[in-house]
């Protein structure tokens, strides 16, 4: 009997994203970068964005080394004007966007009573408002073509609460609700909206290194989940994915 890795390899050979144009937000590093590289390896043309021009340029070079067609643009995805310019430029340079991955996000942690209004606004704008703005900019184009995939990267913090997580959890619980309503608004047009909820992932995001890296997810694990959602059969709809490490932390 073939092992699981062999079966996965066989599926990948049969399915690819050669005709896809994917826009991945927050893709200059970490999870977003891994997602962009994964989609490029499957044949997609990839649009990437972020605020750090140098990190974005480095990611672009890695994508081009894979042979990918790339559009990169420094963008603040909390601003509607910059989002509109990003979507317009991506379509002009790569073609119609068929995949949107809303990955941009930040985490500010600590007791809610010690947090500031600025920290609240920054977190909610980045983790929630940006998804609304980017999806709103892309959705009409997908509706015209009556197909597309929107994947929102949330967190298990959007399903659970913990001390010190008030602002972050609020943004991710909000993202869960937004995703579900988007899915209902768009599924009649042949557009699938999904959410991926990882546990802790080993990136710069948390600000500290895990005690045991073997008990934490990698950015590549999240990228694999994104690919899984995109490579499902056209008649199916994976609406929500919970992603955990095999070994409990």
**100 and 150 in contact (C-beta within 8 Å)?**
yes
* pTM attached to this predicted model: 0.90
Mean pLDDT in runs of 10 for the chain (249 residues)? 42 69 96 97 97 96 96 98 98 98 96 97 98 98 97 96 96 98 97 95 57 80 97 94 86
Q: Which residue out of 168, 193, 196, 245 is catalytically annotated?
A: 168
> Is 168 one of the annotated active-site residues of the chain?
yes
Q: Give, for 71, the enclosing helix (H) or strand (E).
A: strand 70-74
* pLDDT of the residue at 248: 77
User: Which pLDDT does position 203 carry in this prediction?
Assistant: 59
Strand order in the sheet with 191-198: 70-74, 45-50, 21-24, 99-102, 148-153, 191-198, 240-243
CATH 3.40.50.720 fits 17-243, yes or no: yes
**Domain range list for the chain:** 17-243
């Amino acid at each position: 009997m073939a092992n699981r890795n062999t079966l996965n390899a066989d599926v990948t050979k049969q399915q690819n994203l050669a005709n896809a144009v994917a826009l991945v937000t927050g893709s200059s590093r970490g999870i977003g970068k891994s997602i962009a590289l994964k989609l490029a390896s499957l044949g997609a043309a990839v649009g990437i964005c972020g605020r750090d021009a140098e990190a974005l340029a480095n990611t672009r070079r890695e994508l081009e080394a894979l042979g990918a067609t790339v559009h990169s643009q420094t963008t603040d995805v909390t601003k509607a004007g910059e989002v509109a310019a990003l979507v317009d430029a991506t379509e002009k340079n790569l073609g119609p966007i068929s995949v949107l991955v809303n990955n941009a996000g930040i985490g500010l942690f600590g007791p809610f009573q010690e947090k500031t209004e600025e920290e609240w606004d920054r977190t909610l704008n980045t983790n929630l408002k940006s998804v609304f703005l980017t999806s709103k900019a892309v959705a009409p184009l997908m509706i015209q073509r009556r197909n597309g995939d929107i994947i929102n990267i949330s967190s298990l913090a959007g399903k659970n609460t913990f001390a010190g997580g008030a602002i972050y959890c609020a943004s991710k619980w909000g993202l869960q609700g937004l995703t579900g309503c988007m899915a209902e608004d768009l599924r009649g047009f042949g557009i699938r909206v999904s959410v991926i909820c990882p546990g802790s992932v080993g990136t710069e995001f948390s600000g500290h290194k895990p005690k045991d890296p073997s008990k934490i997810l990698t950015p590549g694990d999240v990228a694999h989940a994104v690919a899984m959602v995109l490579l499902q059969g056209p008649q199916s709809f994976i609406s929500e994915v919970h992603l955990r490490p095999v070994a409990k932390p």
